[in-house]
Amino acid sequence: MKEMLRQSGVLLFVGALLAALSIGMAESEFMEKSIVFSVLSEGLRVAAWVSLWEALAIFLIKWMPYKKKISLYGRIANAKIVFAI
């Protein structure tokens, strides 16, 4: 579970960094002069959205089954054992 949250944090950071870089490139004066620069900027924007989407998917959706299993295993570990003779 900790690994999933760490992975989500890393993806969120990378996505935010790529989004900032893409916005910086989009507002650059080179954007109007070079189609390669424009395509690179759009590619970075797509990569940023994919990274942000995956970070949110991990944080909001994928951790729930693991949380339920951890809760179940905790209840099993703390269960009182009764031997009937």
> Is 22 buried (19+), middle (13-18) or exposed (0-12) by CB count in 10 A?
buried
Per-residue pLDDT tens digits for 49-66: 999 998 888 877 877 788
d(Cα 55, Cα 59) in Å, to the nearest integer? 6
pLDDT at 50: 93
The pTM of this model reads: 0.67
pLDDT at 5: 82
Q: What are phi and psi of 23, to 5 degrees?
A: -65, -40
| Chain mean position to CA 23 | 20
pLDDT greater than 70 at residue 30: no
